[in-house]
């Protein structure tokens, strides 16, 4: 029993010695890291020591000191990286410093600053529209390789009835270039005089006159093949590019590309305002040039619209009006006995009384005139090609009836009534077009409409006047449009039948009324240019459209017999 206790004490002492030795080694390594300014390593080792000895105040102080030094070291590295525009790396360093000292306000402020800067930078990159210069750099990466010629001296040779392959092989020896021929290439004799032309120009000339094409495989090899549809599709490389459109309509640009370049593989997306084109590299460059010219901000115009509506009413009334009070004609009636009580006299009895409504005589001679005007002024802002609309008035419901079958496959006999609303009043539509000299053409449509009455079933009847015209104005020049006029004449005659029809004196026994109403609309338009079409000198330059091989493939037509002189009359 005593022996067992002794062994336990010895083992415990050995374990304590081992632990103390390991702690001493770790403490020594931590001190070395601190002395060598290896702050991250010192933080890691003092962290292990503090876990083993959580009550050691000296260890905790050194651990905090190492964390402060390490945090400041990472903070300084982040500032250096920021100066050199390494934003992502700077964010990593400042995040490490913030983890070491989460309570340091200066480090936390720097962390927020770097994060906000990176977020703004990413948003700016997302909103950047590719410029033609950047697109040209992208396309230039797919350029065919340049030939590594042995000499840059021009070719000066004359070939008289020499085969095509022989001429090309001779040129290849001069330039130290390998020329490979397609198996279906037809060799033919050619007479050509090459006077001081470059190797590429001579190659293009020979390919053109022999109806062949060439392709540079690598800097030292050129392939010659016949220009047939099958060979062109086999050897020709196709590329695809997405063009982002900012201002113009993608469908308009697509129609222009199809018409000018004959592009077939072109697709558009109006929601994203993009155009996708698949074609040769040369034709993609031509399409890019056209798109850069088309995709310009539209000119913007403010049009001052002033509207004057004049209403003139004239009324002339004359004649004698014989009518009962409260009525337009003569009215009378018998009064019942129950309502009126009369005391008869010595001569008259009650039955001899009859009460009637006696008409009155009125002489009318009236002349009146009234003028009314409605003036409205408002600015109308729009861009080139888009219609600006102005509406003054109200909307009137108009019924529309259609017929549908009661059952499927039956006769259309079930009426269905719906309503549409029509604008009544003054309607103005203005479409501006800005010219290169900043003149402005306005396409103007003016319509004045009103309710003219009711037809069958209470359906409204409209009276409409409309003017359409185009006006070319300079900036700040005012144009006045008038002549939209409506005149209404009413003549009314009321009188006693018989007397009013007498010739000459019949008008004296009648009431005559004449009313004249006039409505005239005057419109004043003044355009003000906010922004004009932004064009550069390059937009006016003529540029060459590189068709590429195979675009001028000859069409085989049947040979017509040449007529003899004797049979010329038959043709």
- Owning domain of residue 166: 155-235
- Residue 77, pLDDT > 80, answer yes
Looking at residue 555, its pLDDT comes to 38
Taking the C-alpha atoms of residue 215 and residue 337, their distance in angstroms, rounded to an integer, is 124
Looking at residue 132, its pLDDT comes to 46
User: Which of helix, strand or coil describes residue 140?
Assistant: helix
- Compute the Cα dihedral for 421, 422, 423, 424 and give only its sign: negative
Percent of the chain with pLDDT over 90: 2
Whether residue 407 sits in one domain with residue 376: yes
Alpha-carbon distances, residue 228 vs 82, 183, 189, 211, 232 (angstroms): 58, 13, 20, 9, 6
Give how far the C-alpha of residue 421 lies from the chain's centroid of Cα atoms, to the nearest Å: 29
Show Cβ contacts of residue 328 under 8 Å, excluding neighbours closer than 6 positions.
494
Angle at which helix 57-83 crosses helix 105-127, to 10 degrees, equals 30
Taking the C-alpha atoms of residue 304 and residue 301, their distance in angstroms, rounded to an integer, is 10
pLDDT-based confidence at residue 380 (cuts at 50, 70, 90): confident
Whether residue 112 sits in one domain with residue 55: yes
pLDDT in tens, 189-200: 888 888 888 888
Angle (CA) 455-461-464 rounded to 5° is 160
- Structural domains in the chain (count): 4
- Compute the Cα dihedral for 160, 162, 165, 171 and give only its sign: negative
Write out the H or E segment, with its range, that includes residue 134: helix 132-140
Taking the C-alpha atoms of residue 186 and residue 212, their distance in angstroms, rounded to an integer, is 9
Q: Which of 280-294, 377-391, 428-442 has the highest mean pLDDT?
A: 428-442
Looking at residue 443, its pLDDT comes to 92
Whether residue 428 sits in one domain with residue 287: no
Whether residue 282 sits in one domain with residue 385: no
Whether residue 108 sits in one domain with residue 68: yes
Looking at residue 62, its pLDDT comes to 81
10: in domain: no
Q: What is the CATH number of the domain that holds 92?
A: 1.25.40
Whether residue 103 sits in one domain with residue 81: yes
Whether residue 250 sits in one domain with residue 230: no
483: in domain: yes
Q: What is the CATH number of the domain that holds 175?
A: 3.55.50.30
- Residue 149, pLDDT > 80, answer yes
Looking at residue 442, its pLDDT comes to 92
144: in domain: no
Angle at which helix 39-52 crosses helix 57-83, to 10 degrees, equals 150
Looking at residue 276, its pLDDT comes to 92
Whether residue 498 sits in one domain with residue 362: yes
Whether residue 342 sits in one domain with residue 229: no
Listed residues 201, 220, 235: the one ending a domain: 235
Whether residue 286 sits in one domain with residue 314: no
Whether residue 309 sits in one domain with residue 249: no
| Cβ pair 486, 466 in contact under 8 A | no
545: in domain: no
Alpha-carbon distances, residue 498 vs 247, 364, 413, 492 (angstroms): 78, 20, 52, 17
382: in domain: yes
Looking at residue 570, its pLDDT comes to 43
pLDDT in tens, 332-376: 554 444 444 555 555 545 454 454 555 555 555 555 555 656 567
Show Cβ contacts of residue 499 under 8 Å, excluding neighbours closer than 6 positions.
506, 509, 510
Listed residues 235, 253, 287: the one ending a domain: 235
Strand order in the sheet with 479-495: 360-383, 300-323, 510-531, 479-495
* 61 compared with 498, residue with greater pLDDT: 61
136: in domain: no
547: in domain: no
Q: What is the CATH number of the domain that holds 257?
A: 3.30.1370.120
| Cβ pair 186, 226 in contact under 8 A | yes
- Residue 539, pLDDT > 60, answer yes
Place of tokens 């009155």: 360
pLDDT in tens, 436-479: 888 999 998 888 777 777 777 777 777 777 888 888 988 888 88
| Cβ pair 437, 424 in contact under 8 A | no
Residue among 306, 563, 297 at smallest CA distance from 430? 306
pLDDT-based confidence at residue 550 (cuts at 50, 70, 90): very low
243: in domain: yes
Compute the mean pLDDT over every residue in the chain, rounded to the nearest whole number.
75
Whether residue 271 sits in one domain with residue 361: no
pLDDT in tens, 222-236: 899 998 888 887 887
């Amino acid at each position: 029993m005593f022996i067992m206790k002794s062994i336990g004490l010895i083992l415990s002492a050995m374990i304590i010695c081992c632990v103390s030795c390991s702690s001493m080694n770790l403490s020594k390594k931590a001190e070395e890291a601190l002395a060598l300014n290896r702050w991250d390593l010192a933080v890691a080792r003092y962290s292990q020591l503090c876990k083993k000895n959580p009550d050691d105040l000296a260890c905790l102080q050194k651990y905090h000191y190492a964390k402060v030094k390490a945090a400041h070291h990472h903070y300084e590295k982040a500032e250096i990286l920021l100066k050199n525009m390494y934003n992502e790396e700077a964010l990593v360093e400042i995040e490490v410093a913030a983890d070491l000292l989460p309570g340091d306000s200066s480090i936390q402020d720097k962390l927020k600053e770097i994060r906000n800067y990176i977020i703004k930078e990413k948003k700016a990159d997302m909103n950047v529209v590719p410029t033609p210069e950047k697109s040209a750099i992208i396309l230039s990466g797919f350029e065919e390789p340049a030939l590594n010629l042995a000499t840059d001296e021009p070719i000066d040779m004359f070939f008289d009835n020499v085969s095509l392959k022989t001429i090309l092989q001779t040129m290849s020896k001069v330039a130290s270039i390998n020329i490979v021929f397609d198996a279906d290439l037809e060799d033919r004799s050619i007479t050509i005089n090459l006077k001081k032309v470059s190797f590429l120009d001579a190659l293009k000339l020979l390919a053109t006159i022999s109806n062949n094409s060439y392709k540079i495989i690598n800097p030292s090899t050129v392939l010659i093949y016949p220009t047939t549809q099958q060979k062109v599709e086999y050897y020709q490389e196709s590329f695809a590019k997405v063009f982002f459109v900012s201002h113009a309509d993608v469908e308009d640009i697509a129609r222009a590309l199809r018409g000018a370049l004959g592009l077939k593989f072109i697709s558009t997306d109006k929601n994203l305002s993009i155009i996708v084109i698949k074609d040769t590299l040369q034709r993609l460059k031509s399409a890019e040039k056209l798109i850069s010219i088309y995709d310009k901000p539209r000119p913007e115009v403010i049009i001052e619209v002033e509207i004057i509506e004049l209403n003139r009413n004239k009324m002339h009334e004359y004649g004698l009006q014989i009518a009962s009070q409260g009525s337009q004609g003569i009215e009378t009636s018998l009064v019942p006995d129950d309502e009126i009580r009369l005391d008869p006299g010595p001569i008259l009895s009650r039955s001899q009384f009859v009460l009637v409504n006696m008409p009155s005589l009125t002489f009318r001679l009236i002349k009146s005139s009234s003028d009314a005007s409605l003036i409205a002024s408002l600015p109308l802002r729009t861009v080139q090609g888009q219609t600006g609309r102005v509406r003054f008035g109200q909307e009137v419901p108009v019924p529309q009836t259609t017929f549908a079958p009661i059952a499927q496959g039956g006769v259309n006999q079930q009426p269905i009534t719906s309503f549409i609303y029509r604008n009544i009043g003054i309607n103005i539509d203005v479409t501006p077009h800005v010219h290169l000299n900043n003149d402005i053409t306005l396409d103007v449509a003016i319509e004045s409409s009103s309710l003219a009455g009711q037809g069958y079933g209470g359906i409204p009847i409209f009276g409409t006047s409309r003017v359409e015209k185009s006006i070319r104005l300079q900036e700040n020049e005012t144009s006045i449009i008038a002549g939209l006029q409506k005149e209404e004449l009413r003549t009314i005659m009321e009188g006693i039948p018989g007397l009013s029809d007498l010739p000459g004196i019949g008008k004296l026994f009648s009431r005559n009324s004449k009313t004249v109403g006039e409505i005239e609309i005057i419109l004043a338009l003044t355009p003000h240019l906010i922004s004009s079409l932004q064009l550069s000198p390059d937009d006016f330059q003529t540029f060459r459209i590189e068709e590429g091989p195979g675009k001028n493939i000859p069409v085989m037509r049947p040979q017509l017999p040449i007529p003899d002189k004797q049979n010329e009359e038959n043709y």
